Amino acid sequence: MLKTETPSSEHAQLDQYPVPDLVAAFVDDQFNAVQAVRAAAPRIAEAIEAAVPRIEAGGRLVYVGAGTSGRLGVLDSVELYPTFSWPPERAVALLAGGEGAMFKAVEGAEDDREQGARDLRSIGPGASDVVLLLAASGATPYVLGALHAAREAGALTIGIANNAGAPVVTGAHVGITLDTGTEVISGSTRLKAGTSQKIVLNTISSAIMVRLHKVYRNLMVDLKPTNAKLFARTVRLTVHATGADEAAARAALEACGFHVKVAIVALLKKVPVPQAESLLARAGGSVRGALNAEAPPASLS
């Protein structure tokens, strides 16, 4: 029996626990998710190192999963745009059962290996793409079908599972095993198995974005402000990064369409917005590189 399906020996009388003990059992078990991710850290780092050159070459992040794993992939994909201004077309999520399965379980969808392959092929995978394949069991047919199609297309495949020796791990270019063991409620992998997958996805996508210069120091300087909260955040980030007062930060942001990177360079280099944009372009989007570069001459026009 898979570890993720094996009943926990620690909580055999769970249904009789008083509420405080129920809370303790569920919360305390989550620490095992963190430990499982820590144990897999070398493989996670390997996956990031392999992914960055492909993404730099124009590739996409493609997430594939069913049920909880698939929904976690969707979640990671949609949050990259507001957080890092990552183009939505370069963060694609494939969920067994289609979009409707995000809100309601589609029975049997995860068992269709051929549909997984068809869905992956339908997005036109290429050698620069990075395909993250998630399955707690590690043997979900839909995910294995997509894995086969991704490898066939030459894409980088990263398999993430919660059972050792799982096919999605052994069949991928980089396999990540998150050995979370038994669940408090046996077989309910939306618990710590799901938590461990969320941590890994956060880590992989965030680390890639750091390597793509979308973070300066530890500040998210390439966010896309799409609401009042995020507009206010751009001001706070610019103030924090530059030491400018709020009025100066807001003026710089307004001049560059609230692009935090540009505002930071303009304020710290004391150059107009077009020169700041030019510096950033020459530095490949790196704020540090732009700040260390010599400012280009101002346009005479």
The number of residues making up the chain comes to: 301
10 is catalytic: no
Average pLDDT of the residues in 260-271: 97
% of the chain residues with pLDDT over 70 = 98
What is the location of CATH 1.10.8.1080 in the chain? 228-292
Residue 119 CA to residue 142 CA, distance in Å, equals: 9
| Rg, Å, the chain Cα set | 22
Contact 127, 20 (CB under 8 A): no
In whole angstroms, give the CA distance from residue 286 to residue 36. 33
Q: Which CATH class is domain 3-211?
A: alpha beta
Structure tokens at 227: 């609401």
List, for residues 112-124, the tens digit of each pLDDT value. 999 999 999 999 9
CB 69 within 8 A of CB 95: no
pLDDT score for 107 = 79
Query: Considering the chain, what is the average pLDDT of its residues?
Result: 95
pLDDT band at 300 (very low <50, low <70, confident <90, very high): very low
- Asked if 180 and 151 touch (Cβ cutoff 8 Å), the reply is no
Min mean pLDDT across 93-97, 107-111, 247-251 is at 107-111
Residues whose CB falls within 8 Å of the CB of residue 225, separated by 6 or more in sequence, listed in order: 231, 233, 234, 258
Span 222-227, average pLDDT: 92
What is the structure's pLDDT at 47?
A: 98
Check pLDDT > 70 for residue 296: no
Based on the residue annotation, tell me whether 79 is a catalytic residue of this protein: yes
Q: Which two tokens stand for residue 178?
A: 């998150």
Q: Is the pLDDT of residue 284 over 50?
A: yes
Buried b / exposed e across 73-110, counting CB within 10 Å, b at 16+? bbebbeebbebbbbeeebbbbbbbbeeebeeeeeeebb
In the predicted model, what is the mean pLDDT of residues 63-71? 97
Q: Please give the class, per CATH, of domain 228-292.
A: mainly alpha
The 10s digit of each residue's pLDDT in 43-55 is 999 999 999 999 9
**Other CB atoms closer than 10 Å to residue 199's CB: what's the count?**
18
- Give me 81's structure tokens: 């745009």
The confidence score (pLDDT) of residue 301 equals 40
For CATH 3.40.50.10490, list the domain ranges present in the chain.
3-211
Closest by CA to 191, choosing from 13, 67, 108, 20, is 67
The helix, strand and coil proportions of the chain, stated in percent and rounded to the nearest 5, come to 55, 10, 35
H or E element that contains 142: helix 141-152
Per-residue pLDDT at 211: 97
The alpha carbon of 76 is separated from its chain's Cα centroid by a whole number of angstroms, namely: 5
For 224-249, letters b (16+ CB in 10 Å) and e give ebeeeeeeeebbebbbebbebeeeeb
- Who's near 255: CB < 8 A, 6+ residues apart? 263, 266, 273
Set 110, 114, 254, 294: catalytic member: 110
